[in-house]
Amino acid sequence: MSDSNQELRVSKIKNGTVIDHIAAGQALNVLAILGIDGSGGEEVSVGMNVPSDRLGRKDIVKVEGRELSPAEVDVLSLIAPAASINIVREYDVVEKSRVTRPEVVTGILSCPNANCISTEGEPVESRFDVLDDAVRCGYCDTILREDLAEHIATD
Amino acid sequence: MGSGDSRRRGAAVPVMRHDHLISARQLSRGDVEAVLDRAAEFDAGERVARDDDLLGLLFFEPSTRTKMSFDTAMKRLGGDTVDMGTVESSSVKKGESLADTVRVVAGYADALVLRHPSEGAAKLASEFVDVPVINAGDGAGQHPTQTLLDLYTIRENAGLDDITVGIMGDLKYGRTVHSLAGALTEFDVRQHFISPESLRLPKNVRYDLHEAGADVREHTELAGVLPELDVLYVTRIQRERFPDENEYRQVAGEYRIDADMLDAARDDLTVMHPLPRVDEIAPDVDETEYATYFDQAHNGVPVRMALLDMMLPGDGGDAR
């Protein structure tokens, strides 16, 4: 079954962003990273565990009325490295790109080290340098390799 | 020593490129050698006149050696220090953020020395001020100035290339260990790490050693590796790292050295310790030729003089 048929399972959007080929089970983490929780009024559709030729199963997220910038979506590469980004205008995909690993992610993850200064109410955002297969706290050097989604900053 | 000589020699030393000293990871071999060479000049009696320079001391944790040696170093350079005092006596007690505290003190001083119980504190401080920040220990993170004086001591006693160094004790939380292990990768040094399983090097330090291609071995016992060592760097295993007193006593006892044990070592072994020690080095070692830890502590002054002279703005002017 092709990807395009599967996309019909969630409604087409007129203008906005489709984030496709998200690793199955990560859609809600993608939304959390993007800070989309519905409170902003955006129309959001989520497909989870839909069949995919490329991934076997995948998640898909569609956000109506908002075009996400590369800087906003590159951070998704940490939890959804195969994700593709489609910018949609008047029901047509006008731009298609893959996420690329950023060098640094700021304000997205919170440091798992409870003794890190970035977790102690100082006026700074968390900052992680992105390594080949992990991220590293820019303050305390703690390396985070697995379960990055569990450390998405919730404030 | 003539003032003109002093100025010329100061100018000939490569100035460290860094605005702040946060981690030993920043230090190249050239940086280390420049500081140690300059320290040797101060050790030999070199003087400069930094009459107008003020160093801000912010110690959020107790310290004897580090704080006093920075204070001494700045005064020996001709300058002076301003001291935040204890946390209990400062506005930190009122809930002031570290960012605010350092911004204020940076207005009083030409450089800041910071010790703080949280990892990353010096890095954070450096983002809020325009004067150099020197990390004097951030939690279980880094202690790069201790590393410079350790390297100075190793260079004096064993040289810094083609040597075998054993680092023993609390490798997980020991900031002096984290900094030293990283800095030694800049030199031709074989490193052996000796610790209980629960206090092995943390993931980030291992990562850096691996990335640096360091020659590293880990052990749970000293005996097997002791005869190979040129330097044995002992650190304290702290009571609070263990859930109960018995376990602590048992583990700490296994990583204690005394003069009899050192019979198995090379005659020219250098035994070091960042101090304070509790009982991990028996007092009978003090009387042996191996004991170098008190000289090591004394080296804190010339090394910190060198560091401050290189990091403070200006060249120190003429010696009086």
**DSSP H/E element including A129:** strand A127-130
Q: State whether A21 and A77 are in the same domain.
A: yes
pLDDT band at residue A142, thresholds of 50, 70 and 90?
Answer: very high
Is the overall model pTM greater than 0.95, yes or no?
Answer: no
- Which chain B residues touch A140 with a CB distance below 8 Å? 118-120, 138-139, 141
Determine the Cα–Cα distance for residues B209 and A38; give it in Å rounded to an integer: 45
Instruction: Compute the nearest-CA separation of A32 from chain B (Å).
Output: 26
Q: State whether B195 and B123 are in the same domain.
A: no
- Among chain A residues, the shortest Cα distance to B206 is held by A143
**pLDDT the model gives residue B7:** 36
**pLDDT the model gives residue B17:** 57
- Ramachandran bin of A25, using left for φ above 0, alpha for ψ from -120 to 50, beta for the remaining angles: left
Between A93 and B6, residue with greater pLDDT: A93
**pLDDT the model gives residue B10:** 40
Q: Domain for residue B220, yes or no?
A: yes
Determine the Cα–Cα distance for residues B45 and B42; give it in Å rounded to an integer: 5
With H, G, I as helix, E, B as strand and everything else as coil, classify residue B93: helix
**Neighbouring-strand partners of residue B58:** B114
pLDDT band at residue A64, thresholds of 50, 70 and 90?
Answer: very high
- Return the amino acid letter for A152: I
φ, ψ for residue B179 (rounded to 5)? Answer: -70, -45
Q: Domain for residue B25, yes or no?
A: yes
**pLDDT the model gives residue A37:** 87
B97, B119, B207 ranked by CB distance to A139: nearest: B119
**pLDDT the model gives residue A8:** 52
The CATH code of the domain that includes B291 is 3.40.50.1370
What does the DSSP assignment read for A11-30?
---SSEEEEEEEETT-HHHH
Q: Tokens 């953020």 — which residue?
A: B97
pLDDT along chain B (320 residues), means of 10: 36 59 96 97 95 96 94 98 87 86 96 97 97 97 98 98 97 97 97 96 96 94 97 92 86 93 97 95 97 97 97 70
Q: State whether A61 and A137 are in the same domain.
A: no
Spatial strand order of the sheet with A127-130 comes to: A104-106, A127-130, A135-137, A143-144
- Among chain A residues, the shortest Cα distance to B96 is held by A122
Mutation to test the A interface, candidates B97, B119, B173, most A Cβ within 10 Å: B119
- Ramachandran bin of B143, using left for φ above 0, alpha for ψ from -120 to 50, beta for the remaining angles: beta
Which of B267, B275, B261, B205 lies closest to B233 in space, CA to CA? Answer: B275
Q: State whether B15 and B102 are in the same domain.
A: yes
Instruction: Compute the nearest-CA separation of A130 from chain B (Å).
Output: 13
Q: Do the chains contact at B119 and A124, CB–CB below 8 Å?
A: no
The CATH code of the domain that includes A38 is 3.30.70.140
Q: Domain for residue B318, yes or no?
A: no
Q: State whether B15 and B132 are in the same domain.
A: yes
Q: Domain for residue B320, yes or no?
A: no
- Residue B305 and residue B73 in contact, taking contact as beta carbons nearer than 8 Å: yes
Pull the structure tokens for residue B196.
Answer: 């209980």
- Which chain A residues touch B97 with a CB distance below 8 Å? 121-123
> Which of these is catalytic: B50, B67, B115, B175?
B115
For chain A, give the percent of residues with pLDDT over 70: 92
Q: Which domain holds residue A133?
A: 104-151
Determine the Cα–Cα distance for residues A132 and B288; give it in Å rounded to an integer: 48
Q: State whether B285 and B153 are in the same domain.
A: yes
Q: State whether B116 and B174 are in the same domain.
A: no
Which of B320, B316, B318 lies closest to B4 in space, CA to CA? Answer: B318
pLDDT score of A52 more than 50: yes
Domains contained in chain A, number: 2
Instruction: Compute the nearest-CA separation of A9 from chain B (Å).
Output: 44
Q: State whether A86 and A129 are in the same domain.
A: no
**DSSP H/E element including A4:** helix A3-7
Instruction: Compute the nearest-CA separation of A124 from chain B (Å).
Output: 8
Q: State whether A83 and A13 are in the same domain.
A: yes
Q: Do the chains contact at A141 and B138, CB–CB below 8 Å?
A: no
Half-sphere exposure of A129 (CA within 13 A, CB side): 11
- Which chain A residues touch B123 with a CB distance below 8 Å? 117, 138-139
- Which chain B residues touch A125 with a CB distance below 8 Å? none
B97, B124, B140 ranked by CB distance to A139: nearest: B124
At CB < 8 Å, which residues of chain B contact A?
23, 97-99, 116-121, 123-124, 127, 138-142, 203-204, 207
Residues of A (58-117) whose Cβ lies below 8 Å from B: 113, 115-117
Q: State whether B148 and B290 are in the same domain.
A: yes
Pull the structure tokens for residue A14.
Answer: 């007129």
Spatial strand order of the sheet with B54-59 comes to: B80-83, B54-59, B111-116, B133-138
Determine the Cα–Cα distance for residues A81 and A75; give it in Å rounded to an integer: 9
**pLDDT the model gives residue B1:** 32
The ipTM (two decimal places) reads 0.89
Q: Domain for residue B230, yes or no?
A: yes
A10-24 pLDDT, tens digit per residue, is 678 999 999 999 999
Q: State whether B272 and B155 are in the same domain.
A: yes
Which of B44, B49, B14, B39 lies closest to B29 in space, CA to CA? Answer: B14
**pLDDT the model gives residue A4:** 52
In chain B, helix, strand, coil percent, each to 5?
A: 45, 15, 40
Domains contained in chain B, number: 2
**pLDDT the model gives residue B195:** 97
Q: Do the chains contact at B124 and A113, CB–CB below 8 Å?
A: no
Q: State whether B126 and B269 are in the same domain.
A: no
**pLDDT the model gives residue B16:** 58
Residue B65 designated active-site: yes
Determine the Cα–Cα distance for residues B300 and B236; give it in Å rounded to an integer: 19
Q: What is the CA radius of gyration of chain A?
A: 16
With H, G, I as helix, E, B as strand and everything else as coil, classify residue B257: strand
Domain boundary among A98, A120, A141: A98
Q: Which domain holds residue B211?
A: 144-298
pLDDT score of A2 more than 60: no
Q: Provide the H-helix boundaries in B144-202.
A: 144-157, 175-184
Taking the CA atoms of residue B58, residue B59, residue B60 and residue B66 in that order, the dihedral angle to the nearest 10 degrees is 150
**DSSP H/E element including B112:** strand B111-116
Least confident of A67-71, A116-120, A131-135, B78-82: A67-71
A117, A121, A143 ranked by CB distance to B120: nearest: A117
- Which chain A residues touch B117 with a CB distance below 8 Å? 115
Q: State whether A47 and A110 are in the same domain.
A: no
> Which of these is catalytic: B50, B67, B116, B143?
B143
Q: State whether B125 and B176 are in the same domain.
A: no
Instruction: Compute the nearest-CA separation of A147 from chain B (Å).
Output: 16
Q: State whether A63 and A137 are in the same domain.
A: no
The CATH code of the domain that includes A129 is 2.30.30.20
Q: State whether A31 and A80 are in the same domain.
A: yes
Mutation to test the A interface, candidates B94, B123, B129, most A Cβ within 10 Å: B123
Query: How far, in Å, are A15, A30, A76, B6, B232 from residue A65 at the CA level?
Result: 5, 17, 19, 68, 64
Q: State whether B53 and B158 are in the same domain.
A: no
Q: State whether A89 and A110 are in the same domain.
A: no
Q: State whether B294 and B158 are in the same domain.
A: yes
Q: State whether B85 and B136 are in the same domain.
A: yes
Q: State whether A94 and A115 are in the same domain.
A: no
